[in-house]
Amino acid sequence: MARLAPEEYEPRLKDALVCFHCGEAMKNMPTLKKHLQEEFDALRKREVGKLKRKRETVSASESARGSHDGGKQIGKAARTSSAAQAKG
């Protein structure tokens, strides 16, 4: 096993703990852990909101067109007819 010299790792132990997401420095590991959890929760909340808005937009546009299958049948019919033309 490799041995590390104290002069290599001791300066890193004395460095501030920094959030990789926002760059904020923390005093100790429990505060960094709490901060990272808060960052993760905020990020997750934003992403869930984006997905929800995207789904609402897609469903609204589909209902405006009167299509409940999302256009899948149209695409399937087009593929079937083009495949039949290629064979014939």
pLDDT tens, the chain, 88 aa long:
788 888 888 888 888 899 998 999 998 999 999 999 999 999 999 999 999 998 888 888 888 777 555 555 555 555 665 556 665 5
**Whole-number pLDDT of residue 25:** 93
Look up the domain containing 60 and give its range. Answer: 6-87
- First-to-last C-alpha distance (Å) of the chain: 70
**Whole-number pLDDT of residue 85:** 60
What are the distances in angstroms from CA 69 to CA 1, 8, 52, 55, 63?
A: 61, 62, 19, 14, 10
Long-range contact list for 58-62, CB < 8 A, 24+ apart? none
Please report whether residue 18 resides in a domain: yes
Report the domain count for the chain: 1
Please report whether residue 1 resides in a domain: no
Prediction pTM value? 0.53
Instruction: Quote the CA–CA distance of 17 and 70 in Å, as a whole number.
Output: 49
**Whole-number pLDDT of residue 39:** 95
Residue whose structure tokens are 């299958």: 69
Please report whether residue 13 resides in a domain: yes
